[in-house]
Amino acid sequence: MSLLRKLKLPTLAKWNKDFRLRAGTKAPRAALGGKSFAVEALDKLHLPVGTTALELYPGLGVWTAAMASSGLKKVISLEPHTKYYKFLQENVVSDTIEYLKEDGYDWDTYPILRKRPDIQALLGDEKPDWSQVHPSLFFTGTLPKDAKGEQLLAQFASCLTNRMAMYSWGRLDAAMWMPDVLYRKMVAPPGSQQRCKMSVVFEACADTQLIHSTEEMYPKGEYHLVQITPREKSCLTSQWDVFEYVLKHLFVMQRQPLSKMVRTLGPGADIILKRLDFDPSLSVGTMTVQQIDQVAKKFEQWPLRPHVLFEDDF
């Protein structure tokens, strides 16, 4: 019998009682709850047999067990929640799986992981090759349903473009389970109410594909598995720090026209409007990545632009 078939999951009521955070005052973090859909979703990813998976927030271990049962070489799962960690060590046990009581939200975790002999063996000592997706290292996990999940996904987008944290290791393919509201923001097209800075960054720098959807969750709610493949080169022509600055300022009020919001880039910045090849009266939220990039490029070329763009992080 496979590890996944042997896994006994709690009832919803027992899960809600046993896995609460902060002395029972906060609901448990969302976790995958169905076995059959996990196998079906994993099959759609077509992962090579010798792949090593780095997993965030395994929860009850459904996705972990599915990966371990599928022929992957190793699954390294980061679980910071004490109660989930204990459940995993007692109920989802395999020579293929290693649990670490670490949090993928903490960026200090990634340099520690990079020093592991098994990770070093996969990455080698040479400069990461971005001409191809890494053939044997895969990044995955289940994002929390709260604000932390959105913050984490936005940080992943920033790390992808800057090649930081896990993306300092190379061009890693990823597949993340995320709540429906977060998925809608991630893939929101121009003109959508869900359009945000994160939507623009992912559109510019990665190819995303919806792999599977399910409502078999703890608690019940729609989650999607989304494959995120970094592009070898982004579609941006402007420098990243300039693009990031422009994006941050324009999207403060995305329903306002560009002709108004461009002034937030600096005194006299509206001079760049006449240098654009599109109508600056359109609202910021309807702008394509290419149009935002064009604004950033013209701003970058403007001699009087501010050169100290950030005092804090994105």
Annotated binding site: 32, 79, 103
Helix, strand, or coil here: 228?
strand
Alpha helix (H) ranges present in 115-205?
117-123, 147-162, 180-186, 197-205
Please give the annotated binding residues for S-adenosyl-L-methionine, written as ranges: 32, 79, 103
- Distances from the Cα of 298 to the Cαs of 54, 84, 246, in angstroms? 40, 50, 11
The distance of Cα 65 from the centroid of its chain, to the nearest Å, equals: 22
Q: For residue 230, give the nearest of 159, 172, 288 by alpha carbon.
A: 172
The whole-angstrom separation of Cα 246 and Cα 40 is: 41
Separation between Cα atoms, residue 138 and residue 51, nearest integer Å: 7
H helix or E strand, kind and range, residue 245: helix 240-250
Q: Is residue 198 within 8 Å of residue 185, measured between CB atoms?
A: yes
d(CA 223, CA 216) in angstroms, rounded, equals 8
* CA dist., res. 97 & res. 53, Å (int): 10
**What percent of the residues of the chain are helix, what percent strand, and what percent coil, each to the nearest 5?**
40, 15, 40
CA distance 238 to 231: 16
